Structure 1
């Protein structure tokens, strides 16, 4: 089990980092060679990745997920609903005094780190801080089902959109939306937090679709 977990963790990391591109085929034999492991733990790791939605079975191997436009839109729609829910729940917990001040400070730090990385031209770091910010909100919701579902969606969306980083002109807009969301949670305003989270995801989806349309044009 330990080797299987290690294989799963490393392959997931390589897929998210773009070592294996969306749509790329990966065989059990190839993965075992890359990881310097026997085929048994790698086989189990690939099955787990199929369950995670990161790869799809294709004959004698798997291929990295690559969501098409419609599937990606659907993923964003579900992500928006779930992030609205987790933001709302986090704000309600904050209103009841169930969230430690240090947690809000950590969220503020992640927002600042994401802004700083974007301004410095470090899009990979900016994306990492951005994801940590949203993941932490999901954790603060204290709803592990929603948080787990979001983790899976984030992985699928990340893989399918990592070739289209946020346009420079959107940096300020993203930062403002993050700060609005954080302010709503910190003030315990559940409805506002829900609306801010959903609006942020809708805008992100719309921006990606515009970018893809401009590329085609």
Structure 2
């Protein structure tokens, strides 16, 4: 793992939460590296929208309400695209039964963690589930942008993480998406993916953490 990945992980996993300043010296000492790779990592992370330059080092970015809504709208479009592509590949015989079984497994893990009250694990498994849909779509450009948007959303909503009031509905939305992909129905898959993200966005201010 390079310095960029290490620093990104510290931010996304919450070691450095939104609003916290980070100095180059602190990262050098924590990671045991020189300032050059740390400076380059912070420059890349600024381009990713995760940090912004501050007087001493950088500060972890927290999206304001409009920026967060914008991020969700972009995510909705991209996840509709990846779901559509995954369903099309299923229709064309490019996905294997093992691919679909793995998608179901990711949904199971997300649902189990959420129902057990392990919110951090629930969010992590949710992200893996959605990320695997993107993997099945075989669209690296979309996947790359989604990773950046997911990072920004994760960092900006961590402080409002609470037990979801609609775990059954969230899981049902995941299952509908799986069914549409398994049926090889691109239009239905895209619609379910878009509606799921927009539903999450609509309750975000009251019930953070439902992804």
**Fold-level match, TM-score > 0.5?**
yes
Distance 1:101 1:50 in 2: 40
Residue deviations 1:128-153 (CA, integer Å, cap 9, x gap): 11101100111111111111110100
SS of residue paired to 2:159: coil
Matched position secondary structure for 2:204: helix
Alignment equivalent of 1:124, drawn from 115, 120, 124: 120
- SS in structure 2 opposite 1:192? helix
- 1:152 matched to 2:148? The reply is yes
Q: Compared with structure 1, are the counterparts of its residues 130 and 211 closer, same or farther at alpha carbon in structure 2 (3 Å cutoff)?
A: closer
Partner of 1:108: 104
Cα displacement (A) at 1:25? 1.2
Q: In structure 2, how many angstroms separate the alpha carbons of the residues matched to 1:133 and 1:166?
A: 20
Tell me, in whole angstroms, the C-alpha distance in 1 between the residues paired with 2:144 and 2:86.
15
- Which of 14, 18, 23 aligns to 2:14? It is 18
Whole-angstrom distance in 2 between the partners of 1:80 and 1:150: 10
Q: Given the alignment, which residue of 166, 179, 202 partners 1:206?
A: 202
Unaligned runs of 5+ residues in structure 2 are none
SS at 1:158 equivalent:
helix
* Structure 1 length-normalised TM: 0.92
- Give the drift of 1:179: 0.3
Check the 8 A contact 2:161/2:207 in 1, yes or no.
no
- Residue 105 of structure 1 and its aligned partner are, at CA, apart by 0.3
Q: More helix per residue: 1 or 2? A: 1
1:7 to 3, 14, 17: 3
Task: Tell me, yes or no, if the aligned pair for 2:107 and 2:126 is still in contact at 8 Å.
Answer: yes
What's the offset of the Cα at 1:40? Answer: 1.3
Q: Quote the RMSD (CA, aligned, Å).
A: 1.3
Of stretches 129-138 and 52-61 in structure 1, the one that deviates more from structure 2 is 52-61
Normalised by the length of structure 2, the TM-score is: 0.94
* CA shift digits 1:3-44 (9 cap, x unpaired): xx6221111111111111101111111111121211111111
Deviations 1:73-114 (A, max 9, x none): 000000000000110011001000001111100000011111
Secondary structure at the counterpart of residue 63 of structure 2: coil
Give the structure 1 partner of residue 88 of structure 2.
92
* 1:166 positional shift: 5.1
The number of aligned residues is 208
Kept in 1: contact 2:90–2:181 (CA 8 A):
yes
